[in-house]
A = this chain, B = another copy of it.
């Protein structure tokens, strides 16, 4: 039925179709951003090193329409399986978050906040033709407009914030670099978009309780699973790419071994 505390290898839309209605407490989704980078262009730093872009096949879509169809499909399933007391978090940046947000509203998901993750140590804008991209947006929503009884750990958040109510602009975290960043056998980043543990931790501390069931339909490097495990939540991760399934499995096992 529900494969708790496991990674499911497969297309998330297909996998989600087998999940029962109203069964998930919290969904964290970091879907493909549809970056649309120019082809055959390299970005070289002054010191001669090359910026490795997100160029994976999973981020490529033929058109806005195709991206929208994909987005609506997985969001529809997520909405269906989300409990009325649950919440969904969807993360993105200006390439995709506006499309995603409109589709969420059209499905009837009801927004609670759009939270700004202000990045520390983000990459500068090299050519000086725009502002530095220094944030990502997290849309936080309930299943529909009538859902009022969702989890929001206000007192905990206030304690974490020096006694003051936390703002949608108070999420300031480092990007994932250094020892936390998973590397492959060549020392290159093993996943192009690994998210920081602290960011996901903030999501789970905000909107879930111990024993809740957390779903990540785009598990990637497995950050959500590790954080859920650490915080005593059950979790389900879905990942399409076999190599990332293996990466995340090893990561989770390493985490458990070091913990015990």
Contacts and interface: CB of A to CB of B under 8 A. Distances in A.
Contacts of A114: 93-94, 97, 137
Interface string A98-114: 11111111101001111
A106 B113 CA distance: 24
Interface string A160-185: 00000111111000000000000000
Contacts of A22: none
A18 to B, nearest CB: 28
Interface string A185-212: 0000000000000000000000000000
A128 B163 CA distance: 13
Most chain B beta carbons < 10 A, residue from A94, A122, A133: A94
A98 B133 CA distance: 18
Contact of A102 (B102, B112, B152): B102
B98 A105 contact: yes
A134 B64 contact: no
A118 interface: yes
A115 interface: yes
Interface of A: 60-61, 64, 93-95, 97-106, 108, 111-116, 118, 122, 124-125, 128-135, 137, 139, 145, 152, 154, 165-170
23 contacts: A61-B106, A94-B114, A94-B139, A97-B98, A98-B99, A98-B101, A98-B102, A98-B139, A99-B101, A102-B103, A112-B130, A112-B131, A114-B137, A115-B131, A116-B135, A122-B167, A129-B152, A130-B152, A131-B170, A133-B167, A134-B169, A134-B170, A135-B168
